[in-house]
Amino acid sequence: MFDDDPVTLVDAIASAGRAESAAIARRLGAIAGLYRRRCRDYEEAQFWYTDVVEAVAAEVSAAQNISRDRAVPQVRQAVSLYQRLPEVAAVFARGDIDYRMVQVVITRTENVLDEVIAELDRSLAGVVHKWMRLSKPKLRDRVDMWVAEHDPAGVRVTPLVEDSRYVEVEPHPNAAGMALIGGVLDAADAEAIDQRLDMIAESVCPNDPRSKRQRRADATGALGRLEATLACRCGSPDCTAAAVRDSAAQVVIHVLAEQKTVDGTSARPGYLSGFGVLPAESVRRIAATAKIRPVRPPGTDAEKGYRPSAALRDFVQWRDLTCRFPGCDRAVMGCDVDHTTPWPFGLTHPSGLKLYCRTHHLIKTFYTGPNGWKDQQRPDGSIVVTAPTGHVYVTEAFGGVLFPGLATPTATIPTATP
Tens digits of per-residue pLDDT, 84-134? 999 999 999 999 999 999 999 999 998 888 888 999 999 999 999 988 888
With cut-offs at 50, 70 and 90, classify the pLDDT of residue 158: low
Q: Under DSSP, is residue 81 helix (H, G, I), strand (E, B) or coil?
A: helix
384 touches 407 (CB < 8 A): no
Instruction: Give the count of beta carbons closer than 10 Å to the beta carbon of residue 44.
Output: 7
Integer Cα distance of 57 and 8 in angstroms = 40
Task: Tally Cβ neighbours within 10 Å of residue 342.
Answer: 11
pLDDT tens digits, 274-288: 777 888 888 888 888
Q: E strands, 131-178, where? A: 166-171
Q: What is the mean pLDDT of residues 42-57?
A: 70
Q: Which of residues 163 and 156 earns the better pLDDT score?
A: 163
Per-residue pLDDT reduced to its tens digit, 179-188: 889 888 888 8
Work out the pLDDT band at 23, boundaries 50, 70, 90: very high
How far from 253 is each of 112, 152, 189, 250, 342, CA to CA, in Å? 30, 24, 9, 10, 32
List b or e across 185-195, with b for residues whose CB sees 16 or more CB atoms inside 10 angstroms. ebbbebbeeeb
